[in-house]
Each structure stands twice: as structure tokens, then as C-alpha cells.
Structure 1
Amino acid sequence: MARRRRPVRIANCSGATPDPGQIMLTQATGHLLGSGRGLGQRESQPVDVITGDYLAEANIAENAEAFHAGRHPGWVASALTGIELTLGQVFQRRGGLKIIVNGGCLNPKGLAEKVQTLVDERVKKGDGDENVVKVAYVDGDDLLANVEDILLGNANDDRGEGKRRTRLPHLDAENEQVHLAKDADDFLGSDGHEQEPSTAPTTNNKKKKGTKRRKIVAANAYLGCRAIRAGLELGADIIICGRVADASPVMAAAAWWHGWADTCFDELAGALVAGHLIECSTYGTGANFAGFDELMAAPRAGRGGSGAGGPEALWNLGCPIAEIDAAGECVITKHPGLNGYVTEEVVKCQLLYELQGNIYLNSDVKADLHAITVRQLGPNRVHVGGAKGSPPPPTTKLAVFYQGGWQGEMTVNANGYAVSDKYDLQEFQVRRQLREWGKLDSLDVLEFQRLGVPAGNPRTQLAGTTSLRIFAQASDGPDSVRAVVAAWSHVFMQHFPGMHCSLDLRLMAVPVPFLAYFPAVVEQSRIEEAVNLLGVCDSSTEKAGAVVKRVVMGPPRVTEKLAPRESYDSANTMNLEAFGPTELVPLGDIMLARSGDKGANVNVGFTPRTGLSKDPEVWDWMRSYFTLARMREMMGDDWRDEYHVERVEFAGISAVHYVVYGVLGRGVSSSARLDSLGKGFGEWLRAVHAPVPKRFLDRGYRERSRL
């Protein structure tokens, strides 16, 4: 298509399955459902494309077995609801509004056929002819049927019928300093099949004898943007995807709009960043923001009100919009009539969320973020630029989920004196009873996690209460997990003074199956990424959604091998004493942070609070203070020798970024960690005390923030 001049306006409508479908209509109209306000008010401009991300790493696997057994449709219900509500807008705008969602999940074809049925019904009612609204779906991500071949290696190799089962390459395996969880690839089994040794060290290479193969329930590759773009070029108005990378729909829309070639890597890198910034819905407009207390204390900006915002300032937030220009740079904004805050600090924190480091990977481009910049243009308008692109790797991520076993948990509480001794006693009693019964060794995981510290001189009982979370996992069946609550019950009347708990013990007494995650890599040449354009059904006897055109993309034509990830301490650091007198305060007094999960790992980025981000002395202090060794120090008793830390800097946004490998075990879906998504990791580190130069401290804000 011809290159267009103005930026394309792409609105996000979902960042997770719980986001309600009505947000899609809100983004199409610029006002809340039922509010009566429209695009003509507050000078809101229409959007060209609406994208929705419904898939976290574990979403696809959650319903995989039910889908394959015919008990689940395989798609995300809120995605269908959003399209149903918004379809009238698509008809009215006649090609002027596109919708791209990954809510097809396990069954993009099925959801596309359902949407095509809705389109057919409107056509029959006279809302338009059969060419007004076209539906397509992208497939090729689902490799479950081929995963055994991938496990066996190249089907065209010369090892013949006697070829050995090779270990599926782990995403982090090429980094020799990363220790994978000891059970990371146990699902491949050791039941008499010869295996090649793992290519990466593990925390413990000793494995249970006779480990059985675990059933793989989902294996989905992360697709790029090229099939989506091809669908737009075929005239599709609604494109349903499965497991595409989070930013791929935004990249596709920008590439289609501006007519970029597949080798316009700088432009694609910019669009990748834009997609990253808006794909988590309201995270881009003030949600999950470390500076939320500043927003609540500030005048209400979302609807032009005055006075302190309070909690209402962060209620009913609108989702973000990315305006992407022909060079791939973007402006992050929102509809003026909706609540929310689009500020430099909000955008910086979202930029730091769930990064791998300074190179952001996608199936179609690598984005170098070294020179990224973020600049406020005006109220709720932030410019982002500086990303540089290069060819993608020949591989992409393959999310493999398998039956991990059974798990359960329970919580007991304590008050008053000697809380640590009380929990020592409880743990000893349960472990000793399990050992007496011969059940202790049947548990793969048994942790007694101590939550909180009781307030001194508490004014209420709750203020003086802490909790002990007992978490158990077993791969050999639910009985091993049930034994934990049985042991606890057996010694119940021997409890420490004041022990109390919820009377509902079902989380442990009725163990639930869990899925474990293996982030692998797969050659893109193994993937048949394609877009399928559906046709209108013009007869009551025809099945809706017949494919009228299928375009197979093939792997990217230009690729380059991944280089080792960078990790470094800052060059030419300053002596911390040069910054003058210090005060031991929580880092959060001067720092914002954002953290999240990356497979088995946690990422966290630090950037200054509002008012300090432009101060070059603050940046000099940050790059000198936040070293590789400092992360190990800040993690305190949570640090484990098997963890590995990587560190990079983004000078253009005054940010230091870390990845800590191994914190989440095998990943979110099976992690024993209470903060299994890593979202609280950054907030914990902001509470760690640090010797901060007094000249950086805004004492008035600090005192207010601790009330």
C-alpha cells in the first residue's frame, strides 16, 4: 500500500484475560460504555487500529487439556465480548477501524469463525454488503503436534531410525553462567531412553531414578508481525491470533500503515517498543506504577478535575494509545475523556517492565534500547524514540507446558512474642511427622515461608499478626501433598501458643494439578506461520468462515545469530563519598522501579522519582551505586549462590536494569514463590534502606509517603 503521512493511532484494549471486553468499545468511541460521551468531546481523535493482548505465559496452557477434550472453546471469552460490542463501529467506519487480538489463544480459527458468524448476521440484516467487514486468523504457533519431532532433533539428519532423543534447548542454556532449576528438563524423562547431556548447568544435576516423561499439554511458538500484516494487506478488518509476541499486532499495524519493508529494522524496532509500552493496558496510564502515591496526592488530571485525586485518581483508568510515525518513533497518549496519567515516569517504568536487557527480541527484529529516550510533549503526551533495529535471530521462543504434578498450600498465623521460635516449632513438627510416616522424601517442594513482621506495640491484633505459608508440590500424585495437612492435623493440639488459621483447609487438603513451564527455542524454519482470510456465508446451508485465501509467510529472509547478552558495571564510576553526607532511607524515597517475570527469572529496572530524573548528579550516583554486587546485597537473605545477575544501563532515561536468573524456579505456573509473577520484587527492593545523599532527598514528600 502507499506510504501514509500521518502517524497511525493504535489503541490497546486488553493486557490480560480479566480486562473486560467493553474496553474495546471504549477505545473505539473514546468514552466509557453508557457514559453518553463521544469522540466529539474533549477533542478526542478516532483510532485506526485496536489491539488486545490476552495471553500471559501460562494462559494458553491453562485450558489446553479441556480444549483438546472438547470441554473448552479454546479462545478468550472477553475477546469475543469486545468484538461483539465493537462490531457496529467496524461496520460504520467501513475499513477505517481494524481490530487485532491474540484472544484466539488455542483456537484462533474457532474464534474467527465465530466472529465471521456475527458478521454474516449483520450482513443479512442489511448493515452492509459482504465486502464491508473481512475476518482473518493467524495460525502456525501451535507446535504441539510437532513437539516430539522437535525433541528428536532434525528429522532430516543422518542418524537414521536409531537417533537419540536430544534435550530441547532451554532459552537460557547458551549462557554458561546461568544455572537452570534442577528439575528444568525432568519432563523429558529418564525412563530408559538415552539422552544427550544438558547444555547448561543446573542447580543440582542429581535426578530421581526412573523419572517418567511428563505429558506436554501445550507448545506454542511466539510469532512475529508478518502474517498479521499480510492479513491487513488482504483487506482484513478483524484479525484473530493465537500466540503472537505481545507487541506483534502493533508492529504489524504500523508496518502495514507506513508500508515498511521487512528489512526496515529501525522502524520495526521503534514499533516493537511502542507495542511493548501499550500491551499491558492500564500499566501505561498509571496502574502498577511505583509513583502511584504521587498521583493520588496530585490534582486529578484524567478528567480535568481539581483538588487531590486520592484513590479515585486511579479508578477506571483508560488504556493507552500509541501514535507511531513513519520513522517508527511514537507518542504515547490516551483518550482525553478517560482517567489516567501518561507521564515520563509512567512510560519509563512501563518501558522497564519484563525486559531481557538492552536488546529486545522479536521474531522479526532485534531492538537495541541503549539510546532510548522518553520526553514529555504536553499533558498526557509522551514521545519515545531512539530504538535501533537489526535482523532477528533465526530462532524464536517456544513455550512448552507440561503436567508438573500436584500442589497445595495453607497458612497459619501467630501473634506476640517469639514469633520466629513459634514458626520454628511448627515447621519441625510437620517435617518430623512426615519423616516418621516416610512421606517427606515424596515431596519435591516443601517450604515454610514466613510472611511479615509484627508491629511493635500493636494497636490492633491484626497489626501484630504474621503468617506462615506452608507450600508443597509433588510429582507422584496428590496423596503426597495431602500428607502435609494430615501431618499438621496429627500434631495440631501440640501447637505453639496462639496459633490460629482459616478453618478452610481445602487449598492443601484438596491438592490441585499444576503445569510446569519450559521456555525453549525453536528454529523459525520449523514454523508454518500463515494468515487465513475467511469468506461471508451467503447460504444457510454453508458453514460460516470458509477460508478463501491462505498466505504462508515462511521464515524471515534476513536473520543473524544472537550475540551473548551484555552485562556490565558502569565505567568511570564516582566515589560515593563525593556526593556528600548521606542518610539511611528506603530507596523508594528517591527511586521508582518496575519488575516482572521472564520465565524462571525476574527483571527489575530503577529510574528516579519525579523531580530527580533531570539531575545529572542523580544519574552519576545511580550508575555508581547500582552495581552487580549491589543486587546481591539488596536481596539479602533471599540471595542464593545459584542465582545469576545481569546488569545494563539506559542513560537516556536514567535507568539501571537487572535480570536475576533462577528466582522463579521453573517459571510462574509452578513457582513456590508467593510473588510468582515478580511484580512485587521491585517494590521490595525500594523498601531496602540505602545511604542516600541528603541533597537528593525531598524531606517533605518522604514524610508524607510514610504515613
Structure 2
Amino acid sequence: MTDVVRIGNASGFYGDRFSAVQEMLEGGELDYLTGDYLAELTMLILGRDRMKDPSTGYAKTFLHQMRENLALARDRDVKIVTNAGGLNPHGLAVALRELAAELDIDAQIAFVSGDDLVKQAAALNLGSPLTANAYLGGFGIKTALTRGADIVVTGRVTDASLAVGPAAAAFGWGYDDLDAIAGAVVAGHIIECGAQATGGNYSFFTEIEMGHLGFPIAEIHPDGSSVITKHEGTGGAVNIGTVTSQLLYEVRGPRYYNPDATARLDSVQLTQQGPDRVHISAATGEAPPTDLKVSLNNLAGLRNEISVVLTGMDIEAKAELFRTQFEAELPSRPAELEWTLVRHDRPDADTEEQASAILHCVARDTDPKKVGRGFADTAVQLALASFPGFTMTAPPGHGSPYGVFEPGYVDVALVHHRVTQPDGVSVEIEPSPVRAALVVDEDAPAPAATTDWGPTVMAPLGTIIGSRSGDKGGSANVGVWARGDDEYAWLDALLSTDKLKELLPEAADLVVHRYRLPNLRAVNFVIEGILGRGVAENVRFDPQAKGLGEWLRSRHVPIPQRFLP
């Protein structure tokens, strides 16, 4: 048994840097290379692809990357684990085997299946979705690797499972090794979004050398502890800040649920071990939930939109005139008509753009006629008959389908998690026998302020505080963290749920949950429903909430002078 396994990542989403696979294989020592290609929106896109052609449904980019790098991976004896199989892991595995034969490369290819529940959705009380995929764990990947696979293709597994599987295979973990599995879950969560762990989307990016960022590596040990690093000489940085930021990405409370173990994020300890090396220890594991989360995507109808530019004086009157005229002239009113006026304008502006605002109109309906050319033509036909200075940001289109995401849950015993080996033998993976009922983390109110921090100065919160935010269906999380114990004590007392709603008025009427993570000097908020029914349906500015944390950082609060540079 080895004393460390090096697991790299070369993709954080479908569309990430194509050359990352080659860079990671050539950049230094690796045992495994993982790639995450699936997001909630990606599953919808692949579902629409499959509707047109049942032989598709997987991430074709990965196949192209293997054409260029399969020989290199085999020469370096790096095993590859990826969820690029999407809705059709079998199809991708077949394509890879054909590619290996074409290139005359000996590569043993296995695939994991069983996550696709769309045919059983109605029987499982999941409705009639376009896609329905359970989030599987890492023990199917483990089985494939221990049986000799060089490449393991999966469908929908949890992002962290891409690291859990290789670590469990390397160290022989069983389901009762909860602390070790939890450590791999934490490491897998950190590296699964690629360069977000090495300086990408980092609040304090001005403090590190950016450029061509390296992708992350998790050096995992038999006890589940790990070191997050990157190949020497690559851009970016791995420090406690970059790792903390990624730990807070798209999580809820202290418990991070996975099918093989529930990782307690409030137990994790981070230590800067050296340049670009952060040691992660003390992860505590609890039993995984009895149910698996299911990603459900439904086609909800069609959507079209127009954006009109309003310039100069009387912005609100111009917007009201156009809205009134437009709605009166529509041939038939869509089921949903949503207007948003975005005020970029300023008085006495030096440029025309600075003198202009944007009026957006979004239409949704199941009837193509109500959101198609009739909707678009109505706007165009008002061009010479409405407010002065009428112009549009782009010609209107014909409308397009949109979908909505929602989570579902199903008893893990009803999901047939399978691994098919290169020889065609299929093995069913039994679920963890140590499952337990889901424990819901309770909200943690802000503690009473008991320390006088001295004189304060009104300044942006982000002067001293970092953040990371993201989407989870129709909700969003905003994690904020401090770099020192005193700063954290101040932040924890300052940033209550009410204070967050004051600083982010868009959340004022929504349900907001607050969770404390003292070991990370962090507080995490989950804002329910701020993204409507998810990114595919939502037309909110920043529909995936990627900038929500940076908006919070820009808000001015009274910061103790002692904390300021």
C-alpha cells in the first residue's frame, strides 16, 4: 500500500481549458487525473442533445482530449476518472474503446451506470422529467480501478466522488472508514472546480500572480488527510485563502452530504505547509444519508427577450411609455412577461453609454406563437413610434426552449449502481450499510458583540473579508471568511441574517439560512429562491450568483481601524 496518492484535476466544467489535460500529464507526477464536466445546467443541455440523437448525451470534448492525450496518459501510467459520460457513459466508453483501437493503445476502459432514473421516474414519484440522475458515490469507481481499469467513465456522481473512488482504491477503504472518506470528500470538493482552488475567482486576486493558472492536485494520505497543491512553475497560488474559498463554494451548513460519508466541514483544519501547499486534516465523517439526491431537469416552455436602450433624460417615463405601447401591441400576451429596468445612467455623463439605462423584457410560454416572431416584431415595429433615442442592444430572436432544475430524493436501495468492466462483466455496487437519517443543520444566529474594537471607518467589507458564492438550483450560497481570529470574531458578530438582507436588498424578502464554520473563520449564508427556478429559467442579472459574494464585499460597513491596512 502506498503512503500517498496524487490526484489531479483537469476540468471544472464542460468548456474548461482544453489543454489542461496535457498540461497536467506533462507537468509533474500524478497517479490519477480527474475531470468534472457536469453541472445542473449541463445535464439539461445533454438531455436536449439526447432528444435529437440518442447516441449522444456525453461530453464530446473529453473524447477529443483523449485523442490527443491517451498515449501520454498510458506512457505515464496515469489513470483517468471522469464524469464526462453524462447521460450516456456506455456510449462514451464505447467511443473511447474505438479510439484506443484506432490509436493502437492498450487501455482498459470501464464505465459506471445506474444513475439515470428517467425511465423509472414516474414509479419513483419523480414526475416525468427530461433527465433524472441520482448522485452516486465513489465506490463504483473504486471497484473499476481495483479490477484494473485505466479509464473510468461515469455519469452523474457527486463531484467529490471523482477523488473518493481513487483514494478508496489506493488505500483499500471500506464503508466504515468514515473519517478517511470524509477527508477525501473534502479534498475532492476543493479540486473539482479546477483553477478555483489555485487563484481563480479569488477575492484577493491582486495579491497573487495570476496569468495562466495551474490546476489543483490533492495528495491524499491513508487517513484521509491531504495536501492541496499544484504543479511547480504553474500560475496562481494555493494558500489558505484560495482553499477556504473553494471549501465554501456551493455548500450549505457544516454537514456536507455525500453517498459514502457525510463530511463535517466544521471539523476541518487548514495549515499552510509551504509555498503552494495547504495541509488539510481532522475531517470528521458521519454516516451518509439513506436517500440519494436526484438531479431533475424539465423542459418548461419557450423564452424570448428584448433589451431596449434608454438614453438621457426622463428614463423612467421612457420605460413606462415603451412598456405600455409594447404590451398593447402584442398579438397575444405570453403567460409570463417580466420587465427589468437597469439604471446604469448618471446625470451629466461624459459618454453616451454612461448616460444610458437598459430596459429588459422576458417572455415565457409553452406556445411558440406567443414568444416567437410576433413578440420580437412588436418591439421592432415600435422603433420609430416610441420614445426619443430608441435603439436595441441586439436584434430580437425567434425564442428558444428553456428548462428548470429541481432536486429530488430517492432511497439509495432503489438505485442500481453498476460498474461494467472492459471484459463486459457488470458488477452491482451495494450501497453503504452504515446509512443514517438525514440530520439537518440548524441556523446559527450571530453572537452578541462583546468586544469593543475601537474606532471604525466606513469602507467596503471586502477590504478585509473574502467571499465565494454560487448557485444550487434556485438558491444561492454566499460564504464569507476572515484571515485572522479577531477579524472573524468581528465578522461573526456583525454579519447577522438581518445585516445580510440590509446589505443585499434583493434578499430582503427571502428566507436566508446562516451557518458558522469557526475552524475556517467563515460564515455561510444560503438565500432560498433568489435564482427563481434555476439558471436555465432565470434571467436575473448574474443567474448563477457567481458575483453575489463580490457585491456583498463591495458594500460599506464600519470596519475597525485596527483591521485596515
Q: Which TM class, normalised by the smaller chain length? A: over 0.9
CA distance in 1, matches of 2:285, 2:292: 17
Aligned to 2:349: 458
List aligned pairs for 1:229-244, cutoff 5 A.
229-244=142-157
The Cα shift of 1:478 comes to 4.3
Q: Does 1:533 align with 2:421?
A: yes
List aligned pairs for 1:629-644, cutoff 5 A.
629-636=498-505, 638-639=506-507, 641=509, 643-644=510-511
Give CA-to-partner distance per residue, 1:179-212, whole Å, 9 cap, x none.
xxxxxxxxx5xxxxxxxxxxxxxxxxxxxxxxxx
Amino acid at match of 1:116: R
The Cα shift of 1:398 comes to 0.8
The partner residue of 2:107 within 122, 133, 136 is 133
Aligned to 1:560: 436
Q: Identify the range of structure 1 (495-504 vs 348-357) with the bigger mean alpha-carbon deviation.
A: 495-504
Q: TM-score, normalised by structure 1?
A: 0.77
CA distance in 2, matches of 1:532, 1:260: 21
The Cα shift of 1:432 comes to 4.4
List aligned pairs for 1:477-488, cutoff 5 A.
477-480=368-371, 482-488=373-379
CA distance in 2, matches of 1:455, 1:376: 46
Residue identity (%): 33
List aligned pairs for 1:661-680, cutoff 5 A.
661-680=528-547
The Cα shift of 1:368 comes to 0.9
Q: SS at 1:150's partner residue? A: coil
Q: Tell me, which stretches of 5 or more residues in structure 1 are unaligned?
A: 31-44, 152-167, 169-187, 189-214, 301-312, 536-546, 699-707
CA distance in 1, matches of 2:426, 2:70: 24
Q: SS at 2:121's partner residue? A: helix
Q: SS at 1:670's partner residue? A: coil
The partner residue of 2:32 within 18, 42, 49 is 49
Give CA-to-partner distance per residue, 1:581-618, whole Å, 9 cap, x none.
2222222222211100011100010113xxxx12x321
Aligned to 1:82: 65
Q: Does 1:350 align with 2:347?
A: no
- Residues 688, 653 of structure 1: alpha-carbon distance in 2 compared, 3 angstrom cutoff: same
* Paired residues, number: 565
Amino acid at match of 2:113: D
Q: SS at 1:392's partner residue? A: coil
Q: Does 1:265 align with 2:263?
A: no
List aligned pairs for 1:82-231, cutoff 5 A.
82-93=65-76, 96-123=77-104, 133-151=107-125, 168=126, 216-231=129-144
Contact 2:266 2:520 in 1 (8 A): no
The Cα shift of 1:71 comes to 6.3
The partner residue of 1:624 within 471, 488, 493 is 493
Contact 1:478 1:511 in 2 (8 A): no
The Cα shift of 1:455 comes to 4.1
The Cα shift of 1:378 comes to 1.4
Q: SS at 2:86's partner residue? A: coil
Q: SS at 2:145's partner residue? A: helix
- Residues 384, 482 of structure 1: alpha-carbon distance in 2 compared, 3 angstrom cutoff: farther
Q: Identify the range of structure 1 (549-558 vs 268-277) with the bigger mean alpha-carbon deviation.
A: 549-558
The Cα shift of 1:68 comes to 4.3
Contact 1:443 1:481 in 2 (8 A): no
CA distance in 1, matches of 2:25, 2:75: 11
Contact 2:469 2:548 in 1 (8 A): yes
CA distance in 2, matches of 1:231, 1:668: 34
CA distance in 1, matches of 2:321, 2:458: 35
CA distance in 1, matches of 2:230, 2:394: 46
Amino acid at match of 2:552: L
CA distance in 2, matches of 1:672, 1:27: 36
Give CA-to-partner distance per residue, 1:344-388, whole Å, 9 cap, x none.
111111111100221111111111111222222111111122321
The partner residue of 2:12 within 15, 18, 27 is 15
CA distance in 2, matches of 1:534, 1:503: 51
Aligned to 2:190: 277
Higher strand share: 2
Amino acid at match of 1:368: R
Give CA-to-partner distance per residue, 1:648-668, whole Å, 9 cap, x none.
111122111100111111112
The Cα shift of 1:70 comes to 2.5
The partner residue of 2:163 within 243, 250, 254 is 250
Contact 1:649 1:655 in 2 (8 A): yes
- Residues 227, 689 of structure 1: alpha-carbon distance in 2 compared, 3 angstrom cutoff: same
Q: TM-score, normalised by structure 2?
A: 0.95
Q: Does 1:656 align with 2:532?
A: no
Aligned to 2:365: 474
Q: SS at 1:58's partner residue? A: helix
The Cα shift of 1:86 comes to 2.2
The Cα shift of 1:479 comes to 2.1
Contact 1:63 1:72 in 2 (8 A): no
CA distance in 1, matches of 2:112, 2:339: 45
Contact 2:371 2:399 in 1 (8 A): no
Give CA-to-partner distance per residue, 1:315-339, whole Å, 9 cap, x none.
x222111111111111111111322
The partner residue of 1:389 within 285, 291, 301 is 285
Contact 2:475 2:531 in 1 (8 A): yes
Contact 2:307 2:394 in 1 (8 A): no
Amino acid at match of 2:130: V
Task: Please tell me whether Structure 1 or Structure 2 has the larger radius of gyration of its CA atoms.
Answer: 1
Amino acid at match of 1:223: L
Give CA-to-partner distance per residue, 1:128-176, whole Å, 9 cap, x none.
xxxx53110000011111112112xxxxxxxxxxxxxxxx4xxxxxxxx
Amino acid at match of 1:281: G
Tell me how large the CA RMSD over aligned residues is: 2.0
Q: Tell me, which stretches of 5 or more residues in structure 2 are unaligned?
A: none
Aligned to 2:474: 600
Q: Does 1:414 align with 2:397?
A: no
The Cα shift of 1:627 comes to 0.7
Q: Does 1:320 align with 2:216?
A: yes
Amino acid at match of 1:370: D
The Cα shift of 1:29 comes to 1.1
The partner residue of 2:266 within 366, 370, 376 is 370
CA distance in 2, matches of 1:23, 1:14: 7
CA distance in 2, matches of 1:500, 1:581: 50
Amino acid at match of 2:101: D
The Cα shift of 1:421 comes to 3.5
Amino acid at match of 2:10: C
Give CA-to-partner distance per residue, 1:403-457, whole Å, 9 cap, x none.
10000112112232343343333333334444xx5x34x423x222233432454
- Residues 620, 554 of structure 1: alpha-carbon distance in 2 compared, 3 angstrom cutoff: same
CA distance in 1, matches of 2:162, 2:246: 18
- Residues 249, 456 of structure 1: alpha-carbon distance in 2 compared, 3 angstrom cutoff: same
Aligned to 1:182: none
CA distance in 1, matches of 2:273, 2:335: 56
Q: SS at 2:124's partner residue? A: helix
Q: SS at 1:216's partner residue? A: coil
Aligned to 1:551: 427
CA distance in 1, matches of 2:299, 2:476: 23
Amino acid at match of 2:415: I
Aligned to 1:570: 446
Q: Does 1:4 align with 2:7?
A: no
Contact 1:582 1:694 in 2 (8 A): yes
Contact 1:52 1:100 in 2 (8 A): yes
